[in-house]
């Protein structure tokens, strides 16, 4: 079916124009692909109906072909359900994980602990699962691997009591991750328990952990958890298997909460940021479409993002994460790139064509280096001196030279930002361009 969808898309490309029968055909194929990927029936129908209606009613903006427009609509309708990328904030917070047995809560608690710990935040794991035998030991073992403290009361039968103690005893840890009990099925006492835990913990985020293979029941399950405690994010585990994760779409539709991470293996490092485009391509089995989807997505995000980045550039606060974002923008031809090119201080020597071509590779390298920096370092790169450079180089497997050149790049950009702030006329001109 992935194949048949690809054929249909190929047909659209060849046709050069899109007529009603072609739209209907594409819509039917999308429907089938969605159902095959375990998306709930009513959701698949609703989605494909929306695509059909929009494709028939709306006109492409000038300069966009009917073909690209149709793909853009498909993409937008899928993203409307999945939500935009949401990154979990790197800040002190309390996280609570909920979900049924075996979905991957405890493993994910460990993965999240590793993630925040690596970013330099102090982390504590809290074992509130009182139902599964040896749940505490499982988490304890994970904590030992990571060098992260684990709070629990072995033998205690009341999860509420553990949570109450933990809130007091672990309050000095910046990130507190609460693992909770599951059940084989949705049961009233589970719902009561997590409601009470929410009251006691007062978490900043409540993540629903779902196994990618869950399929058609995902929506129902997600809705029950959401009605009980209000889910703020979804984590899909076991995406390393063959499941396409269509259940995730239903879960997101039922909760309105975005997917924040995906689990891609049993090890603690197997946690990835969720990428809607990649997910949608996989869901529909149309890997070929990824580039086209990226384009559609960019069209939509370009202006929004450019504005956000410019805003920050002008606020005078400018850290390594901002630089990375600007780099990311420059790797794609677009509005921001055009604006940056037109600035007097970005001489062609600074950003020449070769650099844009190289920037994909550079971005990849920078990301790896930045992943080994702590939260504090990313926010405040000035503190990175030679001992930290050594550590970052070791942690990222890159040379110290490369870390230094990343920092040099940052300092140069920062200087440019400063100059820019001093130039009111230029700032006015830039605002107008946006």
103 is in an annotated binding site: yes
Q: Tokens at residue 162, please?
A: 């553990």
# chain residues binding ligand GDP, by CB under 6 A: 18
Closer to ligand GDP by CB, 62 or 242: give it: 242
105 is in an annotated binding site: yes
Q: Is 237 in the site for ligand GDP (CB under 6 A)?
A: yes
Q: Is 106 in the site for ligand GDP (CB under 6 A)?
A: yes
Q: Find residue 151's DSSP bridge partners.
A: 126
Distance of alpha carbon 96 from alpha carbon 204, whole angstroms: 8
Q: Is 276 in the site for ligand GDP (CB under 6 A)?
A: no
Burial class (CB within 10 angstroms; exposed 0-12, middle 13-18, buried 19+) of 120: middle
219 is in an annotated binding site: no
Q: Is 105 in the site for ligand GDP (CB under 6 A)?
A: yes
Shortest approach of Mg ion to residue 132 CB, angstroms? 6
Q: Tokens at residue 359, please?
A: 């920037």
Q: Which does 152 bind (CB under 5 to 8 A by kind): Mg ion, ligand GDP, none?
A: none
Report which of 108, 86, 229, 224 is spatially closest to residue 177, judged by C-alpha positions.
Answer: 108
* CA dihedral (227, 228, 231, 235) positive or negative: negative
Closer to ligand GDP by CB, 72 or 238: give it: 238
3-state secondary structure 157-179: CCHHHHHHHHHHHCCCCCEEEEE
Shortest approach of ligand GDP to residue 2 CB, angstroms? 23
Report which of 430, 125, 418, 431 is spatially closest to residue 268, judged by C-alpha positions.
Answer: 125
Closer to Mg ion by CB, 105 or 119: give it: 105
Closer to ligand GDP by CB, 149 or 265: give it: 265
Q: Is 102 in the site for ligand GDP (CB under 6 A)?
A: yes
Which one of the spans 42-50, 86-94, 104-112, 317-325 is the region binding ligand GDP (CB under 6 A)? 104-112
Residues near Mg ion (CB under 5 A) are 105-106
238 is in an annotated binding site: yes
Angle between helices 386-396 and 353-371 (to 10 degrees): 90
Q: Which segments of 54-198 are extended strands (E)?
A: 93-98, 123-128, 150-151, 175-180
Q: Which does 199 bind (CB under 5 to 8 A by kind): Mg ion, ligand GDP, none?
A: none
Q: Is 265 in the site for ligand GDP (CB under 6 A)?
A: yes
Closer to ligand GDP by CB, 103 or 250: give it: 103
Q: Which pairs count as long-range contacts for 15-21, CB under 8 Å and 24+ apart, including other chains? A: 15/67, 16/65, 16/67, 17/66, 18/55, 18/66, 18/67, 18/69, 18/70, 20/56
Q: Is 176 in the site for ligand GDP (CB under 6 A)?
A: no
Which residue, chain included where needed, has tokens 């606020």? Answer: 315
Q: Is 29 in the site for ligand GDP (CB under 6 A)?
A: no
239 is in an annotated binding site: yes
Binding residues (CB under 6 A) for ligand GDP: these are 99, 101-107, 182, 209, 237-238, 240, 263-266, 270
Q: Which residues are annotated as a binding site for GTP?
A: 99-106, 179-183, 237-240
């Amino acid at each position: 079916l992935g194949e048949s969808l690809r054929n249909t898309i190929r047909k659209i490309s060849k046709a050069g124009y899109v007529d009603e029968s072609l739209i209907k055909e594409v819509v039917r194929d999308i429907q089938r692909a969605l159902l095959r990927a375990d998306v709930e029936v009513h959701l698949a129908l609703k989605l494909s109906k929306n695509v059909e209606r929009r494709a028939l009613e709306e006109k492409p903006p000038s300069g966009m072909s009917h073909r690209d427009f149709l793909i853009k609509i498909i993409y937008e309708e899928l993203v409307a359900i999945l939500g935009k990328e949401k990154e979990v904030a790197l800040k002190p917070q309390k996280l609570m994980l909920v979900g049924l047995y075996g979905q991957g809560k405890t493993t994910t608690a460990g993965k999240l602990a590793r993630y925040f710990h690596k970013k330099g935040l102090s982390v504590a794991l809290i074992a509130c699962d009182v139902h599964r035998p040896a749940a505490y030991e499982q988490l304890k073992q994970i904590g030992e691997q990571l060098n992260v403290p684990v709070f629990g009361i072995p033998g205690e039968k009341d999860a509420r009591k553990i949570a109450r103690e933990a809130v007091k005893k672990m309050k000095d840890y910046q990130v507190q991750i609460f693992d909770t009990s599951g059940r084989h099925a949705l049961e009233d006492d589970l719902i009561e328990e997590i409601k009470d835990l929410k009251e006691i913990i007062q978490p900043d985020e409540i993540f629903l952990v779902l196994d990618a293979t869950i399929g058609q029941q995902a929506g129902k399950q997600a809705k029950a958890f959401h009605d009980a405690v209000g889910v703020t994010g979804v984590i899909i585990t076991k995406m390393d298997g063959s499941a396409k994760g269509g259940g995730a779409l239903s879960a997101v539709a039922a909760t309105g909460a975005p997917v924040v991470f995906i689990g891609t293996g049993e090890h603690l490092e197997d946690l990835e940021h969720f990428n809607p485009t990649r997910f949608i391509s996989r869901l529909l089995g149309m890997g070929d479409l990824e580039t086209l989807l990226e384009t559609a997505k960019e069209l939509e995000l370009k202006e929004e993002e450019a504005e956000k980045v410019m805003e920050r550039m002008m606020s005078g606060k400018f850290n390594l994460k901002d630089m990375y974002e600007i780099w990311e923008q420059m790797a794609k031809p677009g509005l921001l790139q055009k604006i940056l090119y037109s600035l007097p201080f970005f001489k062609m020597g600074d950003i020449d064509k070769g650099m844009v071509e190289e920037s994909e590779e550079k971005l990849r390298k920078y990301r790896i280096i930045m992943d080994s920096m702590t939260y504090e370092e990313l926010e405040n790169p000035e503190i990175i001196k030679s001992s930290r450079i050594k550590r970052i180089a070791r942690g990222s497997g890159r040379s110290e030279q490369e870390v230094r050149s990343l920092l040099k790049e940052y300092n140069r950009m920062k200087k440019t930002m400063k100059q820019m702030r001093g130039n009111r006329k230029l700032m006015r001109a830039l605002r107008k361009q946006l």
